[in-house]
Structure 1
Amino acid sequence: MDAAVLDREYNARATTPDVLEILAEYRARTDAAKAVLPWSTHAYGPGEPERLDVYPAASGPAPVLVFIHGGYWRALDAADSGSMAPGFVAAGACVVSVNYSLAPAAGLDRIVDECRRALAWVHGNIARFGGDPSRIHVAGSSAGGHLAAMLMAPGWQAGMGLPARPIAGATLLSGLFDLTPIPHTHINGWMSLDAEGAARNSPALLPLPSGLPVVLAHGDTETAEFKRQTVDFAAALRGAGCAADLVPPRPGSNHFDLVFDFGEPGNPLFEATRRAMGL
């Protein structure tokens, strides 16, 4: 594809005319969750963005859902990322929403490192909140789907004091798994990725885990490239021995409102994740 086509294919906002209203709803639904659930914020590192919100389990030890927000690595916050907490806490989980430093102030290597350190914090501390560190399920939307997939890759865990397999499953909502096109798009205006950095941070190009239950989904109205990224990664995970469940898109769903489907009990995406978590 030439640069103009790539720009169109990776411009998620252009596919969703009401994107700003949906992003505002992220914050409103998170505020509503915080109004009805116990929750607390904790630092996993020295920088202000290095924090996470914990919504404790009603009783434990419970499976843990660790959610990483999207925003093309340059927008949003954990304060926008708790809309799924009421549904999953009611189902018996402990929920954690991860915050991280944003581009362009932070490069992707740093953002990935922060998410790894956040997972290490969860593994070491979540029992205090009713969570079971042996049953951590990572999830994320868009750029957060990419970051959750980076946590699945083997080989980095020992450096964080983690067991070789610190997660028990994942849900990936319209993530980016092969970043090699990104240096050729407008996105690189804030990401500044070279070919090596894109490859180093591409979950599809890294060793894949085996034996994990993984739920994947994309929106109905997304571009062909966003859909391809999810379908191809699901196939690669199956080839590696994972139980990869590609949930069919809800008619009319888009790149951004997948987060609402994810948090809605009875929705196929919520139910697939609930089953993968053993709830």
Structure 2
Amino acid sequence: MGIVSLVRSVWALLYAATSFVMFLLTGAAINGTPTKNGTANVVLSLLGNQMSELPLTVLLMDVFLYTWLNVTGTFQQSTLAQCFNYVNVLTAIGLLYLFKRSYESKIVAQKFLDQLSKESRGRVALPGLSAPRFWQQFLNPMYWPKNCTVYENIPYWAQKEQMSALRTDGWQSVLQMALDVYQPNTVEGGDERPVLMYIHGGGWTSGTKSLMGPLLTEMISHKWIVVSIDYRLVAKAGYPTQLKDCKRALRWVKDEVRIFGGNPNNIIVAGDSAGGHLAALLALTMNLKEHQPGFENVDTTVRGCVAQSALVDLMDVKGYRHHEGRARFINEVSQREGSAETQENLKFLTEHSPLYRVADATVPFLIVHGDLDIMAPIDSARDFVQDFRVKSKAPIDFLEMPGAHHCFNMFSSPRTWYTTIATAEWLNYNFDRSSQQPDEKKKQIHELVEWSWTE
């Protein structure tokens, strides 16, 4: 009997601790208040997304724990557990509010689509609670489009680049210079379909191309060719190795994508977080020779850019970020010597901040950002859009999602799917105007062989 009481006491303490933590995390997800500690902000951002984008899942887990403790008689034996029932009720109300706020993001996405529909073929209506798609995709984190063939881990290096990377960084780094191609089974070589080249996030030093977000699966269902790329994360030379690798991947896509049915002249680059930063720079530094060592004369133009939760201002002159980001980027990411405040390093940060390159923009941009982002504050994105509209003649659209945290778009939630559908329509309207090529042109598509580019 003593053992049973001990077990019940442990369960009661676990329930109390869990209830208290869930209460705090729910509050943090609602408010999105940053701290002055970078590590704490990363943790809060990750957990905030879990609570904000998957509130019903969290609520179901909480209900399961409550039911289990009730069945085992823990509540009858523990006053502590009974007291925290009231805390749990408040948490449940907060979680339901988070779901309501996520669902109501439909209003923002619909306004974006309505504005787009003024110039497009017709109005697109977003699915609601009664639509089968809502339950099929919005609440299914394992959703995956059917009829798609994946070609994995295709290297995009040239032979000299492979040997150089092997000498300086080892085989693991060489293996990161690879990409995956997702080809809808209804698309054939020579079909000239639009291409979405996606760059993953992870603070420039982590992440993988295997993390497929809803945008990629959505574009596959629209019969786009999707290419998800990796890049060297811990190269000895540091950044801008990542940017140069992205340009190398783009070089490969332009040379080979016709095999999979893609149009090399209709490539749109996209990314999230650090990947959004790289995507934006890719679109703002097209054909700049200093970022194309060994392939200076190769065409690296793209048709457009979608930047999600992107870090667009490494300088952060206005102090929007609540922790020191300059020092990390200079010392850890770029492997540069000296303080981040030296004139040389400040110049480097400026050159690699998309915010200070908007005058060079010549292709359409779509900025997608959450207003509760504590890793890449929304104010930087707003400044980018404002400066872009003043200094560039290229069009830019801004989809600001209320209640959304950093990289919310990686979670399967109503907010994410509404944003995804709006983004897909923007992509289709701007870039899906290619027609099927004649059969005689398809016959000219060469087969994919071991790729070794030489200038």
Name the TM-score, length of structure 1 as normaliser: 0.81
After superposition, the C-alpha distances for 1:95-143 in whole angstroms (9 at most, x for unaligned) are 0001011147561111111011111111111111110011100000000
CA spacing shift, 1:214–1:109, aligned 2, 3 Å: same
SS in 1 for 2:386: helix
Deviation larger for 132-141 or 209-218:
209-218
Q: Distance in 1 between matches of 2:40 and 2:298?
A: 34
AA in 1 matched with 2:148:
L
* Segment of structure 1 superposing worse, 13-22 or 75-84: 13-22
Q: Distance in 2 between matches of 1:151 and 1:86?
A: 23
- Per-residue deviation, 1:93: 0.8
Q: Which amino acid aligns with 1:271?
A: E
Distance in 2, Cα, partners of 1:106 & 1:263: 38
Q: Which moved more, 1:262-271 or 1:42-51?
A: 262-271
1:176 alignment counterpart:
311
1:152 aligned counterpart, secondary structure? helix
Query: Residue 136 of structure 1 is aligned with which of 267, 275, 278?
Result: 267
Displacement of 1:66 in angstroms is 0.5
Instruction: Evaluate the alpha carbon distance shift between residue 96 and residue 50 of structure 1 in structure 2; reply closer, same or farther with a 3 A threshold.
Output: same
Structure 1 residue 44 corresponds to structure 2 residue 156: yes
Name which of 226, 230, 246 aligns with 1:99: 230
The question of whether the paired residues in 1 share the 8 Å contact of 2:273 and 2:311 is answered with yes
Q: Report the CA distance shift for 1:69/1:9 in structure 2 as closer, same or farther (over 3 A).
A: same
Describe the superposition over 1:221-272 as per-residue Cα deviations: whole angstroms up to 9, x where unpaired: 21395212211222232221121100131x3322122245666686323332
- Secondary structure of the residue that 2:382 maps to in structure 1? helix
- Which of 342, 351, 354 is matched with 1:200 structurally? 351
In 1, Cα distance between equivalents of 2:394 and 2:416: 21
Q: Choose which of 250, 253, 274 in structure 1 pairs with 2:428.
A: 274
Match of 2:202 in 1: 71
Instruction: Select the residue among 381, 399, 403 that pairs with 1:230.
Output: 381
Number of the residue aligned with 2:394: 242
CA contact (8 A) 2:283 2:363 kept: no
Please tell me the residue identity of whatever aligns with 1:253.
A
Gaps of 5+ in 1: 23-28
Choose 108-117 or 217-226, whichever is displaced more. Answer: 217-226
CA contact (8 A) 1:63 1:135 kept: yes
What does the per-residue CA deviation read over 1:55-106, in whole Å, with 9 as the maximum and x for residues that have no partner? 1243221000001000111211011136433311221210000101114756
Segments of 5+ residues of structure 2 without an aligned counterpart are 1-33, 54-139, 163-173, 317-323, 434-455
**Equivalent residue, structure 2, for 1:17:** 47
Amino acid aligned to 1:54: V
**Aligned match of 1:86:** 217
Percent identical pairs in the alignment equals 24
Residues 19-75 of structure 1: CA deviation (Å, up to 9, x unaligned): 5898xxxxxx99864986201121012311000110124322100000100011121
| Structure label with greater radius of gyration | 2
Counterparts in 2 of 1:207 and 1:215: CA distance versus 1, 3 Å: closer
Aligned to 2:406: 255
Q: In structure 1, how many angstroms separate the alpha carbons of the residues matched to 2:221 and 2:194?
A: 12
Q: What is the CA deviation profile of residues 175-227 of structure 1, one whole-angstrom value per residue up to 9, with x for unaligned ones?
A: 11221246545565632454243233222223644441111011132139521
Identify if the C-alpha distance between structure 1 residues 207 and 232 changes in structure 2 by more than 3 Å, giving closer, same or farther. closer
- Stretch moving more, 168-177 or 149-158: 149-158
Bigger drift between 53-62 and 138-147 goes to 53-62
Q: Residues 264 and 118 of structure 1: is their aligned pair in 2 closer, same or farther, counting only changes over 3 Å?
A: farther
SS in 2 for 1:127: helix
Which residue of structure 1 lines up, in the alignment, with residue 332 of structure 2? 190
Secondary structure at the counterpart of residue 201 of structure 2:
coil
Q: Would the aligned equivalents of 2:286 and 2:301 in 1 still touch at CA under 8 Å? A: no
Which amino acid in structure 1 is aligned with residue 307 of structure 2?
Answer: L
Higher strand share: 1
